[in-house]
Chain A
Amino acid sequence: MDRKYKFGVIGLLVAAVIVALAVYLSHYTVDVLQPAGQIGYKERQLLVFGVLLSVIVVVPTFALTIFIAWKYREGNHRPKKYNPDWDQSWLFESIWWGIPIVIIGVLTVVVWRSSHTLDPYRSLVSTKKPLTIQVVSLDWKWLFIYPEQHVASVNLAEIPVGTPVDFEITSDTVMNSFWVPQLGGQIYSMPGMVTQLHLAADKAGRYNGSSANISGSGFAGMAFQVAAGSSDDFNGWIARARHAGQPLNMASYNQLAKPSKYVRPEYYSSVQSNLYNYITVKYMTPLTAPRSTTAVPTAKGSQI
């Protein structure tokens, strides 16, 4: 009776914690579990599938653990049930080699398929023409270049809802990781290299992004936002950017690339052609130092 009471209290306590947590979390966004884009949805689907499959193993294991620990405790000793030399059983051992092999076997198929269908390099299927955004991680902010629209922005990327977005990602400083969890998973940005990420937003909204890889003292301030709106919103934003900002040329780029922290969103009305190409290629030439801010004079840059 006493013991039942104890279990009841523990059960109530656990329930109370779960309820409190649910109430607390309902005030906020749990980004990975509340996706707003098709890649994010599929990744969440995989996560949920994996959790459910694990539950099949974990719950019986825990129940068995508690049962065995309870039943065979010293205080409950029954000589008939004590079997100190019983130390192997082909049947039992085959079961617990076998069941995990089956479950992991299922999961490996999932791994193989999902690695290919959700490969970040894979273009999304859509009737709409994809939007290309070139992303550069800098100390300590993100530069977004729209090569077709000839505008650029810092720490804020606008995209149209329902249109696939091809992110081409590089770094003009150390390694960072480009992550917008509500849209879908991340990929590293690395100097001298271009990685790709194909995402899309299914609903309008502002989605938080950040760098997931430590990049120096301003690292925590590399939060940015991706704003998804209608195509009218997007066109309006492009038009405003064209009028609002200064041009992004070598001089203004070198200014921007200097280390700065917690940078507010900025816009550039035009982008010097081939700037992105220059940023990625310069690390491959032997004669330039690894950093544009110190090594590349404006005049030389503009010739590229």
Chain B
Amino acid sequence: MIVASLLGKLTLHSFPHDRITQGAAVSIVLVSILAVALITFLGKWRWLWREWLTTTNHKRIGVMYVLVAVLMLLRGGSDAIMMRAQQATSVGAHQGPLPPDMFQQVFSAHGTIMIFFVAMGLMFGLINLVMPQQLGSRDVAFPFMNALSFWLFTAGMLLINMSLVVGEFSAAGWLAYPPLSELHFSPGVGVDYWIWSLEIAGVGSLMSGINFIVTILKNRCKGMTMMKMPLFPWSVFGSMVLVAFAFPILTVTLTLLYLDRTLGMHFFTAGNGGNAMMYVNLIWAWGHPEVYILVLPAFGIYSEIVATFSRKRLFGYRSMVAAIWAIVFLSFLVWLHHFFTMGAGADVNAFFGMMTMFIAIPTGVKIFNWLFTMYRGRIRFTSPMLWFMGFIFLFTMGGVAGVLMAVPPIDFQVHNSLFLVAHFHTMIISGVVFGFFAGLTYWFPKVFGFRLNERLGKYAAWCWIIGFVLAFGPLYILGLMGATRRLDHYSAGLGWQGLFIVAGIGVAIIMTGVGLQLLQLAYSIWKRDENRDYTGDPWDGRTLEWSTASPTPEYNFAVLPEVTSRDAFWEMKRHKPDAEQPARYRDIRVPKNTPAPIIIGGLSLLAGFGFVWHIWWLAAAGAFGILVTVLTHTLSDDDGERVIPAAKVAALEAEFARRKEEAA
């Protein structure tokens, strides 16, 4: 009795029994111990705490986002390998390596992790790394909230990975449709882990959304009107408006599901007046905008890259901005196309099908504007451009599949089949992931002061492109052959196995690409002195972030820039080849470090764990702790800023100018 009230549903049986999960759990624990030991051995705890864990500097936060996202890419990628191994072998009389329930946990985790902790993490990371500099700003609007967003994101990530060590994960798919996700059909803690990791990370995302909206509206430098902003901030603006409108829906929907599961309410249950169709509508009212939340910033990145590497102004800037807002508007009018098969009736289906098709128009316009940015340019085919070229071809093909599925009667024949799976992976991988990889390669020298190895980067891109075609081409065909998604087993004689094996080979090639990217990173760090960027402008860039030293100093700009046109830095280089040194630097105020965000993140993790396992005292203690931390931070007299003296700024800038001259 006492144990039950202290430990909730947690017992010794909650720890994994099967070999595969045990292996994963043990390796997670071992790696954590190893990391702790290494940091202790090197005596780096103080450094880690001061420079990283308590930082409120947007560039550091950006680096941490990317680091977490890359770790999660490896986790989600392992899930993908397990799925391919299962589906290539679990045929007829043969059983695959995974029992059905575990297979279902694996694909549920794969989808959840890839969207929430890889794609979102890379996106917020890249925005943090470069957007303030592009706006000519010293930081985001709310640096403290920015750090808090990151730690909530990380708390959600840790909670979802704790499900490997303690308990189980949801087996109900990445969007956990009820009634399957209701307590009656999913009595374990898996769905609760899913709910709470997304609740915590989702609140962080919402705060990021608000933060970046305000940053764009309030922190632009002098002279930068909205129509003089680079395309990346424009696309982030569209995306963050979607975040602000969509994420509250997710938070509320998950809360209702948790109330169903925990307090026996009936929002979405099968009987007693509940209605699962309401959940399906709500989750997609968040879920469809989410797709555009991810892809718009990637479009922005492509816009920057194409202009830079074509050495030409972006073509059709106004059209591009109009296209972004057309997409933002339409993305809230299409959610029903995810369930044409729920019996809504012909008028409703037709309306949503038509709205869905309209999105193809602004998207097509963007593609042509990119092509005509290249037209009459001087194109350098660096690895970011290679990712872009892969994107153009794959994304267009995926878009065709999307337009086809927007016709309801065609959708009836491919809905929830592997054709659909292939379609959305085409959009997300070529649209979002390629874009973020291109962005990471492009801005890497700005962040770390040296370039990534180009040759390995190109090999990696080719592996991803070819591997992608092999991994997802067969899935389109399998879908047309009647193969539904999420099958842990199928009959022999259908001809599916050969195609699944090819898809498995494709995933192996993609994984080779991932390996090459890790190698590229390691090799580039090793040979960093050969690829140093002393000019701050390694690619002959066009926007303000390239006007600072690489890595960008903590304060971004010694003197806040003033711009008169788009492509501000390009114009500066053209008209004032050697910018005059300003006579005097001033003291610069930057946000101070604070432990509050990481503490709130840790307490959220504890509270989330308490909610998952019904350890109510822990949940209450976590929530109370958060309240106390927030109040303490808010009510303190400290203004949260510290001063970088003018003399130090002058010294740093002089050093940058000297190196730049040497390099020239």
B310's nearest neighbour on chain A, judged by CB, is A72
Q: B364 and A31: CB pair below 8 A?
A: no
Q: B389 and A69: CB pair below 8 A?
A: yes
Q: A111 and B350: CB pair below 8 A?
A: yes
Q: B341 and A65: CB pair below 8 A?
A: no
Whether a CB of chain B sits under 8 angstroms from the CB of A288 is yes
Contact code string B394-420 (vs A, CB < 8 Å = 1, else 0): 001100100110111111111111000
* Also in contact, A29 and B378, with CB within 8 A (given A46-B409, A88-B318, A187-B412): no
Q: B484 and A179: CB pair below 8 A?
A: yes
User: Which residues of the partner chain A approach B353 to less than 8 Å between Cβ atoms?
Assistant: 108, 111, 115
* Cβ-neighbour of B180 out of A64, A93, A185, A214 (below 8 A): A214
The total of Cβ contacts below 8 Å across the A-B interface reads 297
Determine the distance from Cα of A33 to Cα of B365 in the docked complex, in whole angstroms.
Answer: 32
Determine the distance from Cα of A221 to Cα of B364 in the docked complex, in whole angstroms.
Answer: 41
Q: A69 and B346: CB pair below 8 A?
A: no
* Also in contact, A191 and B407, with CB within 8 A (given A31-B481, A62-B393, A97-B361): no
Q: B414 and A72: CB pair below 8 A?
A: no
Whether a CB of chain A sits under 8 angstroms from the CB of B376 is yes
Q: Among B138-146, B215-223, B270-278, which stretch is in contact with chain A?
A: B270-278
Closest chain A CB from B278 CB (angstroms): 12
Closest chain B CB from A275 CB (angstroms): 18
User: Which residues of the partner chain B approach A28 to less than 8 Å between Cβ atoms?
Assistant: 481, 494-495
Which of B347, B389, B482, B488 has its CB near the most chain A CB atoms (within 10 A)? B482
Determine the distance from Cα of A188 to Cα of B317 in the docked complex, in whole angstroms.
Answer: 44
* Also in contact, A174 and B378, with CB within 8 A (given A186-B341, A187-B341, A212-B416): no
B493's nearest neighbour on chain A, judged by CB, is A28
Closest chain B CB from A110 CB (angstroms): 7
User: Which residues of the partner chain B approach A46 to less than 8 Å between Cβ atoms?
Assistant: 407, 409-410
* Also in contact, A30 and B374, with CB within 8 A (given A51-B404, A100-B360, A107-B407): no
Whether a CB of chain B sits under 8 angstroms from the CB of A119 is yes
* Also in contact, A104 and B361, with CB within 8 A (given A72-B377, A82-B376): yes
Instruction: Report 27 cross-chain contacts, Cβ distance below 8 Å, ordered by A residue.
Output: A31-B482, A44-B413, A61-B368, A68-B375, A69-B374, A69-B379, A74-B381, A83-B377, A86-B376, A87-B315, A89-B316, A92-B372, A100-B364, A115-B350, A115-B353, A116-B350, A121-B345, A121-B346, A174-B185, A179-B482, A184-B412, A191-B270, A195-B343, A215-B180, A216-B180, A217-B171, A221-B489
- Interface, chain B (partner A; CB < 8 A): 100-101, 104, 171-173, 177-180, 184-185, 269-273, 276-277, 310-319, 339, 341-343, 345-347, 349-350, 353-354, 357-358, 360-361, 364-365, 367-369, 371-381, 389, 392-393, 396-397, 400, 403-404, 406-417, 477, 479-482, 484-491, 494-495, 498
- Interface, chain A (partner B; CB < 8 A): 21, 24-25, 27-33, 40, 42-44, 46-47, 50-51, 54, 57-58, 61-62, 64-65, 68-69, 72-74, 77, 81-89, 92-93, 96-97, 100-101, 104, 107-108, 110-112, 114-116, 118-122, 173-175, 177, 179, 181-182, 184-188, 190-193, 195-196, 208, 210-221, 223, 282-286, 288-291
Across the A-B interface, the 7 shortest Cβ-Cβ residue pairs: A185-B412, A28-B495, A115-B350, A290-B271, A87-B313, A118-B409, A212-B416
